[in-house]
Every structure is written in structure tokens, then in C-alpha cells.
Amino acid sequence: MAAPSISTGGTASTTAEQTLQGLRRRADVKGRLFQYSLLGSLLVSLLVLVILISQVVIDGWPVLSTRLGDFLTTGLGSQPEISGIAQGLRGTFYLCLIVALVAFPLGIAAAIYLEEYAPKNHLTNFIDVNIRNLAGVPSVVYGILGLVIFVRGIEIGPVTVGIRSITGGSTPLAAGLTLSALVLPVVIITTAEALRSVPQALKEGGYGVGATKWEVIKDHMLPYAAPGILTGTLLSIARAAGEAAPLILVGTVTGFITQVPAWWDGTQVRETYTAMPIIITRWAGRPEEGFKVDGAAAAIVILIVFVVLLNSVAILLRNRFEKRREG
């Protein structure tokens, strides 16, 4: 039986047919168009990515294909054909290391406090609002913080606020601390989210057998939240590696560095330095094609490989994590 049995014949049947026709779903052309235009907008982002990546690979190809090894291991020079990015790689590595050593412990501890220890009062609320606002402060403003507090110091009456005596001025240490301040709110927010996702039953199980608060956090919550925390920290490292604006303000230099110090020479955290994003910025502004196009693009390819690698690991981790939750 195809249609409801209203058909009796004659004129009545035609009206019934018409009614049924009206009820039958017409092809939803507008809806389809709407859906495809939404999908199209999303694919614009993919197109941008594809064009962007092919552009930098094509621009950087003369360098990447002929002298990749030299490019990675030699230092900056005045001639584009023989210039490399060794100091930049080294500087960025040190900056990421300092961020990992400073921002991660601080951020994770702060998140633990906010999620587990903090009483519900005005101070806690203030800290919470403050962190969310810090996350929205432009990175260039963090550069000012670094310039004043970590690089120069500021005299307020008889007191000098700042740690120039420790950082030694425009050094990787000062820049690393600046970037640590920059990613701190992100680390706190993502860690707090990961901790919040720990099931209540898991915590109560710990308390039930007599564990203290710290023991529950250490043995029950952190292992469960670890992938989520790791995702957040990896994304922060990627962000720190790609940031240029705060580094410009804290005096990361290019062009004046000639020697390539050994990678393991730790005293270099208090010397002049440069970093990948700064090299790219400066080269992109040079008049010589060899710097402006080939060199800058090759350096971008190296930076993107590093950043995208970190991002992909973070995304994969999170996806596996979510699946485990669902399963």
C-alpha cells in the first residue's frame, strides 16, 4: 500500500493526490545550497593552508634542495648564499626549554590549586578572572613586561623592580621568562580543564582508602589527566616557538651575531642570541631576494615543520584521549 487509502475516485481523488503532492518532500534546494556553502567556507581554510605551504616550499626550494645541511648548521652571514640559521634554531630551542622549565610547573601547580585547593571566595574568583584576561592580553604587551622587568628594570623611588642582575639584559633567559609569562595562562586553563574531566568516583576511591589530598592528586588525578595536560603544554611550546612580537621588544638581535656557540654551552643563556621567528622577520624585510624570498621561506619551512609536528602530536593525543573516554 503506497498511499493512505483516501482515494475514492472522481474529483475527490485529484484533490487527495494534490494534498499528498504537497506533503511529499520537495527537493530542498535551498537547504542543500546552504549546507554546501558552509562546507565551502570550511574548505577555504584548507585551501589557504595548501596555498600557504606550497608557496613557502616553492620559495624556499632553492635553499632546501641544494644546501639544507649547511643551512641548518651555519650561522648568519652578510651574504644570502652562505647564510644559515644555526643560531636561530639554537635560540628557539633554549627559549622552549626555559618555557618548559618555568611555565609548566607553575601553570600546572596553579591549576591544581584552582581546581582542588581554592576555597570559593573573592580571591579565587579574582585569580580566575585575572587568568582569563591574561590569556587575552596581546603578545606585544608581554614584550613590554619583559623589556621593563626582565631586561631593564624600573626604578620606583628607591626600589628597583626587575631582575636584570639575574637575566643579564637582553638574553635568552629574559626572553624565555617573557614567553613563560605569555603561555602561563594557557597552561593553567588547559590543565584546569583536564583536571576537571577526572571522574568524581576516581577521586572518591582514593579518599575512601585514606589517601590525602596530594596523594589523590598525584596518584589518581594527574595520571588520568596527563594526556590532556600534555596536549596543552605541547600547544604552548608550539606557540612560544612561533612568537616574534615579544622577542622584538626584549631585544632579540639578528645581524650582529657571527659566531655559532656550541649547543651544550649553558652559559649562553646570558649572551646575545636570536630566534627563528626573528630571523624570518628580519630576512623578510631585507632587500636581497636571497634573504627576502629564498632564505625567509626556507626558515619558515623549518619553523612550520617543528610547530606543526608539535601540534599534530597534541591533536593525536587528544583524539585518542577522547576516544578512550567514550569507550
Partner 1 sequence: MTMVNEWDISELAGNPRRRARERLIGRIAFGAALVSILVSVLIVLSLVFEAVVFMIDVDWGNTWGQLGWFPRRDLFDLPTIIVATLWVTVIAMAVAGPLGLAAAVYLSEYANPRVRRILKPILEVLAGIPSVVLGYFALRFIAPNIVGNLFDGAAPANILAAGIGVGLLTIPLVASISEDALNAVPRALREASAGLGARKMATTIRVVLPAALSGLTAAFIVAVSRAIGETMVVFIAGGAADSALRSFNPLDPGMTMTAAMASVASGTDNVAGQGPTFQSLFFVGLLLFVITLFLNLVADRFVRRFRQEY
Of 21-40, binders to partner 1 (CB under 8 A) are: 28, 30-31, 34-35, 37-40
Q: Closest CB to partner 1 among 12 and 305?
A: 305
Q: What is the DSSP string of 100-141?
A: HHHHHHHHHHHHHIIIII--SSHHHHHHHHHHHHHTTS-HHH
Under rule CB under 8 A, which residues in 116-175 are in contact with partner 1?
116-118, 126-127, 129-134, 136-145, 147-149, 152, 154, 156, 161
Q: Which residues are CB-contacts of 84 (< 8 A; sequence separation ≥ 6)?
A: 70, 71, 72, 73, 74, 75, 76, 77
DSSP annotation of 161: E
Q: Counting contacts by CB under 8 A, is residue 315 touching partner 1?
A: yes
Q: Are 143 and 177 within 8 A, CB to CB?
A: no
Distance CA 254, CA 284 (A): 12
Closest contact distance (angstroms) between CB of 10 and partner 1 is 30
Q: Closest CB to partner 1 among 250 and 269?
A: 250
Q: Which residues are CB-contacts of 300 (< 8 A; sequence separation ≥ 6)?
A: 56, 60, 280
Q: Counting contacts by CB under 8 A, is residue 305 touching partner 1?
A: no
Q: Closest CB to partner 1 among 70 and 116?
A: 116
Q: Counting contacts by CB under 8 A, is residue 189 touching partner 1?
A: no
Distance CA 295, CA 297 (A): 5
Closest contact distance (angstroms) between CB of 108 and partner 1 is 8
Q: Counting contacts by CB under 8 A, is residue 280 touching partner 1?
A: yes
Stretch that binds partner 1, among 7-15, 64-72, 194-202, 278-286 (CB under 8 A): 278-286
Closest contact distance (angstroms) between CB of 262 and partner 1 is 27
Strand 159-161 vs strand 154-156: parallel, antiparallel, or unpaired? antiparallel
Site string for partner 1, 87-126 (x = CB under 8 A): ------------------xxx-xx-xxx-xxx-------x
Distance CA 70, CA 101 (A): 31
Query: Burial code of 242-266, b = ≥16 C-beta within 10 A, e = fewer?
Result: bbbebbbbbbbbbeebeeeeeeeee
Q: What is the DSSP string of 226-259?
A: HHHHHHHHHHHHHHHHH--HHHHHTT---SS---
Q: Which of 51, 101, 166, 226 binds partner 1 (CB under 8 A)?
A: 51
Residue 165: which H helix or E strand, with range? Answer: helix 164-167
Closest contact distance (angstroms) between CB of 13 and partner 1 is 25
Under rule CB under 8 A, which residues in 236-255 are in contact with partner 1?
238, 241-245, 248-249, 251
Q: Which of 14, 55, 125, 160 binds partner 1 (CB under 8 A)?
A: 55
Closest contact distance (angstroms) between CB of 140 and partner 1 is 5
Site string for partner 1, 199-238 (x = CB under 8 A): -------------xxx--------------------x--x
How many residues touch partner 1 (CB under 8 A)?
92
Nearest to 179 by CA among 94, 280, 306: 94
Q: Closest CB to partner 1 among 240 and 269?
A: 240
